[in-house]
């Protein structure tokens, strides 16, 4: 595995700041776009960054924890939504088409036989994880297999921006357990409504997560990210970890979506802290706990739209902001070229 280095480069950072500040605008007046332009320039190691062939991968898998009645929807919705993705009818299909973003669908571990299907990448580790309320969600070997498969997927991506999406009934429970185990925040701060649980369902889900993390206290105490991932994660979450690490090694911009995707990043960042330099937090989800996750990682979301759908929808909706950031840096006139007076000293 390649060791990630920070994107920080003093000379390039100064050159980017000078280029941004010399555009025909008051200093700092493009706000978040200026931060993005600098970040993407540092990732791509240039003062002329560009967005090339952005892509998004949706990873689907099932979760044994649904046996604990933690979802408002049955497990069968996972494979049914994969069929919807393949038919082009889901929200992520609509937004990806709108934003000219390539979309890839991966079966990481759905409890269903799809057979050979056009547009579906079969990387199934197993037919769903085990119930982590009773035992580890997956073996160390399965976790390693999923991470390896995720890393290998990056070889098929041609662009320089990669977003991440997911589908898996029960995966907000996995993400909340990972968060609870890694941050030691109370379960009540980590657990939300997921697919739309009422208050009684949320309280039950909190107890399931709290009891499960306590059940695996010896694993949690070791504070080892891969063991926490194998104990509480899903095959899609583990595969995303591998994909994130490999994409960052290729100096791609990583577009981070909502609660589940950010739980994968928490694991990846514990393995390789420098990965955060490559991450753009697309939005802050309305799923309870996501803001705390982002704060824990020191991130700043681009959008705040009340989203909590998943699928990578927030990532694709943030793409126009990335285009705007690199385009103003590449195309906007300078004070000198436009013969515009700069502000008084």
Distances (CA, A) of 337 to 31, 45, 116: 23, 24, 57
122/190 Cα distance (integer angstroms):
31
Taking the mean position of all CA atoms in its chain, how far away is CA 139? 23
Residue 76 has a CB neighbour count (10 Å cut-off) of 12
- Give residues with Cβ within 8 angstroms of 133, minimum separation 6: 65, 67, 68, 208, 211, 212, 215
Q: Which of 84, 100, 95, 152 is nearest to 123 (CA)?
A: 152
Phi and psi (nearest 5°) for 339?
55, 45
Note if 311 is an active site residue: yes
Residue of 152, 311, 331, 336 with catalytic role: 311
Beta bridge partners of residue 37, listed in sequence order:
none
Give SS3 for 55: strand
Taking the mean position of all CA atoms in its chain, how far away is CA 69? 26
Give SS3 for 295: helix
**Would you please indicate which residues are annotated as catalytic (active-site) residues?**
311
């Amino acid at each position: 595995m390649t060791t990630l280095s920070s994107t920080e480069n003093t000379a390039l950072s100064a050159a980017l700041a000078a280029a941004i500040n010399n555009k025909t605008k008051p200093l700092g007046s493009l706000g978040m776009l200026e931060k993005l332009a600098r970040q993407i320039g540092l990732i791509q190691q240039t003062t002329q960054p560009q967005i090339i062939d952005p892509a998004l991968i949706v990873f689907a898998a099932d979760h044994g924890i649904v046996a604990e009645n933690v979802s408002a929807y049955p497990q069968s919705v996972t494979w049914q939504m994969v069929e919807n993705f393949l038919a082009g009818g889901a929200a992520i299909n609509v937004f990806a088409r709108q934003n000219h973003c390539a979309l890839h669908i991966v079966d990481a571990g759905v409890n269903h036989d799809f057979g050979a299907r056009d547009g579906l990448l079969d990387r199934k580790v197993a037919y769903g994880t085990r119930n982590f309320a009773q035992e580890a969600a997956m073996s160390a070997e399965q976790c390693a297999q999923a991470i390896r498969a995720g890393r290998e997927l990056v070889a098929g991506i041609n662009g320089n921006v990669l977003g991440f999406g997911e589908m898996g009934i029960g995966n907000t429970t996995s993400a909340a357990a990972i968060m609870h185990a890694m941050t030691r925040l109370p379960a009540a701060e980590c657990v939300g409504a997921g697919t739309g649980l009422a208050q009684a369902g949320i309280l039950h889900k909190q107890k399931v997560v709290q009891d499960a993390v306590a059940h695996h206290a010896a694993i949690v105490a070791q504070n080892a990210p891969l063991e926490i991932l194998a104990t509480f994660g899903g095959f899609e979450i583990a595969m995303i970890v591998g994909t994130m690490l490999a994409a960052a090694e290729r100096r791609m911009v990583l577009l981070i979506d909502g609660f589940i995707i950010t739980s994968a990043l928490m694991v990846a960042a514990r393995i390789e802290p420098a990965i955060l330099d490559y991450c753009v937090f697309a939005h802050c989800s309305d799923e309870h706990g996501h803001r705390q996750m982002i704060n824990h990682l020191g991130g700043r979301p681009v959008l705040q739209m009340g989203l909590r759908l998943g699928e990578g929808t927030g990532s694709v909706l943030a793409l126009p902001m990335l285009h705007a950031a690199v385009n103003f840096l590449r195309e906007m006139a300078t004070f000198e070229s436009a013969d515009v007076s700069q502000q008084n000293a």
